[in-house]
Structure formats: structure tokens, C-alpha cells
Amino acid sequence: MTPVSDEKALQLLRAELPVPDGQLPATDLWPRVERRIQERSHPSASAVDWILAALVVLSCVLRPSAIGMLLLHI
């Protein structure tokens, strides 16, 4: 297999997937995608999540053999 440069790959893609009617997109969509990603609010951990995490840590402290069992399930 021979290596293909980026320019050659773009030429091959443009040859096989031509733009319909020769029209290019009116605007670049990436800034809109990036803005939507940043607008998403990151949900905070609920009380149940914190309780489960505390139970896992407590079980590992009280019973070190639980660490091995925990690692098997990850």
C-alpha cells in the first residue's frame, strides 16, 4: 500500500463525491457546532452518585480484597 498525501486524498474525495450543483456551503458549520457543545450544561453528580462513590471507597478501606473485585468489574 502506498502512502497518500493529504492533497491527493482531497483530490480523490472531490472526484468521487462532487458537490451537488457545484454549490459550496454558505457558511462554515464548525463554529455553530462548537457553540452548541459549549452551551450544553454539564450535569452535576447527584446525591446517589456521591453515596455510591463513598460506599465503594469505604468498602475498599475496610476490606482491601474488595479492590481486586472492583478492578475485575471495570
- Kindly state whether residue 18 falls inside one of the protein's structural domains: no
- Kindly state whether residue 17 falls inside one of the protein's structural domains: no
Q: How many CA atoms lie within 13 A of 37 on its CB side?
A: 6
Domain limits at 50?
46-74
For the chain, how many structural domains are there in total? 1
- Kindly state whether residue 69 falls inside one of the protein's structural domains: yes
Q: What is the DSSP letter of 29?
A: S
- pLDDT band for 66, please (50, 70, 90 cuts): confident
Angle at 72 (CA atoms; ends 71, 73), nearest 5 degrees:
90
- Kindly state whether residue 26 falls inside one of the protein's structural domains: no
- pLDDT band for 65, please (50, 70, 90 cuts): confident
Reply yes or no on whether the pLDDT at 18 is more than 80: no
- pLDDT band for 28, please (50, 70, 90 cuts): confident
- Kindly state whether residue 61 falls inside one of the protein's structural domains: yes
- Kindly state whether residue 4 falls inside one of the protein's structural domains: no
- Kindly state whether residue 70 falls inside one of the protein's structural domains: yes
